[in-house]
Chains A and B, each alone.
Chain A
Amino acid sequence: MKRFVILGAGTAGTMMANKMDKYLDKSEWEIVVLDRNNTHYYQPGFLFIPFGMYKAKDVVKKKSAYLPKRVNFIVADIGKIDADRNTIIYGDGKELVYDILIVATGTVPSPSETPGYLGDRWYKNIFDFYTFEGAVALSEHFESFKGGKLVVTITELPYKCPIAPLEFVFLADAFFTKKGIRDKVELFFTTPMSGAFTKPIATKMLGALLEEKRINVVTDFYVEGVDEAKNVIRSYDGREVEFDTLVVVPVNLGDELIASSGLGDDMNYVVVDKETLQSTIKPNVFAIGDAANLPTSKAGSVAHFASEVLFENLKAYIAGQPLAHKFDGHANCFIETGFGKATLIDFDYTHEPYPGEYPVAGIGPMTLLGVTRINHWGKLAFKPIYWEFLLKDRKMPVSNRFSMTGKRV
């Protein structure tokens, strides 16, 4: 009996478990999925919790409920990967040998990397919203928020869901407007990048939106830390931004397991071929989702589109054939812009986001780089699609490959 092991039962790991279940012969292969806990969060929903659009119960389910019956799902403290011996070592020293390993351990916000984040102010007036606890704490904070300087800070690249901090400031603008206190709130957005986003056309469009919504953007701001005595966040070049409430996107790092495995880079992301998703160090190890060091966004849509490619390449690998399927870096994401509207971007390794229609050229119904109500409904409709279609590997009406059809250059 051969053993196929998936490390991590988040978005990417769950999708791959459901794909492999359909393909791997039960009499020949055991599928084991390992995780440290049994809580599956709908991470895109974290953004909505601080603004009361979602409640905590809307984003939490059990990981086990989304894994196929035949999978041996083990919740345990996982100590190490010994890739030279094809072995996972548990915290208590027990071992699990694998024939093929998929690493899908995601990326973890690590506020301890920045001086002053995890001090006395953490969850009092310094928050994150990329964790369930942070998003809930922030929703409570906003209930009694009367105004002041609200600063949203991106600490370091890469980080999960690159567009979410921008959505956060757009939603904050709408939230305080509806509360009738927008004139008492100064909104600041700091980023280590040179603009609101990285790709020129989208940056121009999003930059104009930020200006229109009176959000102060501080660019090339590379965070050194928080000066608690002065209530400022400081960059390495000495600039300071004062805050009453600070919302941080902390440094993101891959799982600490990767550090000792010899499979990762200096941020603990598994080093893979960006087209095949195979480890460049061990041919029987693959990585998918945020855990992989792919030069594209860390986002669920990337994991989704890459899962199709990885599935084909795993079939080839098992059959002893060359890995012919190539991932193009396809990603897309809805961007909430506040007041019940959203925009949408679609891009890959080589094409930046363009205006147009998606998924059907000339019809849509979604509009790329346009701000519409339908895009917002699309974003809301995605939650049930995520649980019932995406995770369970049911057919979705979008291609995993990027296409220029319907786009206007």
Chain B
Amino acid sequence: MAQKEYAGVMVEVNNEGYFENSNQWNKEVAAAIAKENNLELTDKHYQVMDFLRERVAKGEALTIRSIGKSGIVDIKGFYELFPGAPLKLATKLAGLKKPLSCV
């Protein structure tokens, strides 16, 4: 377990940079992590992160498909917001644990 400082908050992260405790998250922290990933956050980014955090709080699995159905953004748009591996990047920025596939 490592600690990292984002926007003045000491955050506990695992070796891949995912949060150990999602309560240590706030919008400024997200913006600082985004900067590290060369990303400028917009309202749309935050809406997606809120959606992910809500789903996790309800104990639901995170899937790219569910984001496509969320009404916030379609899948193509999700890839544009969080380029590369969007679900991994978005969960990291939302202060959540790495999404696990249940296989």
Contacts and interface: CB of A to CB of B under 8 A. Distances in A.
Given A156-B65, A237-B84, A267-B65, A162 B60 contact: no
B103 A197 contact: yes
Contact of B66 (A162, A222, A266): A266
Interface residues of A, number: 23
Interface residues of B, number: 18
B79 A236 contact: yes
Given A158-B102, A236-B76, A295 B61 contact: yes
Given A236-B75, A237-B79, A265-B60, A198 B100 contact: yes
Contacts of A222: 64, 75
Given A220-B85, A267-B65, A295-B61, A198 B103 contact: yes
B88 to A, nearest CB: 8
A297 interface: yes
Interface string B77-103: 001000111001000000000001111
Nearest to B98: A194
Nearest to A158: B102
B26 interface: no
A310 to B, nearest CB: 19
Nearest to B101: A198
Contacts of A296: 102
A157 B79 CA distance: 18
A266 B68 CA distance: 11
A199 interface: yes
**Interface secondary structure of A, over-half rule:** loop
Contacts of B69: 266
Which of B63, B65, B79, B103 lies at the interface centre, i.e. has the most chain A CB atoms within 10 A of its CB? B103
A232 interface: no
Contacts of A265: 60
A157 B69 CA distance: 15
A167 B83 CA distance: 32
Contacts of A97: none
Given A236-B76, A237-B79, A265-B60, A157 B101 contact: yes
Interface in B26-72: 60-61, 63-66, 69
A251 B79 CA distance: 19
A211 B85 CA distance: 23
A12 B45 CA distance: 42
A164 to B, nearest CB: 11
Contacts of A220: 85
A193 B65 CA distance: 14
A295 B102 contact: yes
Nearest to B68: A236
Contacts of A266: 65-66, 69
A263 to B, nearest CB: 15
Which of B66, B83, B85, B102 lies at the interface centre, i.e. has the most chain A CB atoms within 10 A of its CB? B102
Which of A192, A224, A294 lies at the interface centre, i.e. has the most chain B CB atoms within 10 A of its CB? A192
Nearest to B102: A295
B48 to A, nearest CB: 15
26 contacts: A156-B63, A156-B65, A157-B63, A157-B101, A157-B102, A158-B102, A162-B103, A193-B103, A194-B88, A197-B103, A198-B100, A198-B101, A198-B102, A198-B103, A199-B103, A220-B85, A222-B75, A224-B75, A236-B76, A237-B79, A251-B65, A265-B60, A266-B66, A266-B69, A294-B102, A295-B61
Interface of A: 156-158, 162, 192-194, 197-199, 220, 222, 224, 236-237, 251, 265-267, 294-297
Interface of B: 60-61, 63-66, 69, 75-76, 79, 83-85, 88, 100-103
Given A157-B63, A224-B76, A237-B84, 7 more contacts: A156-B63, A158-B103, A193-B101, A198-B100, A236-B75, A236-B76, A294-B102
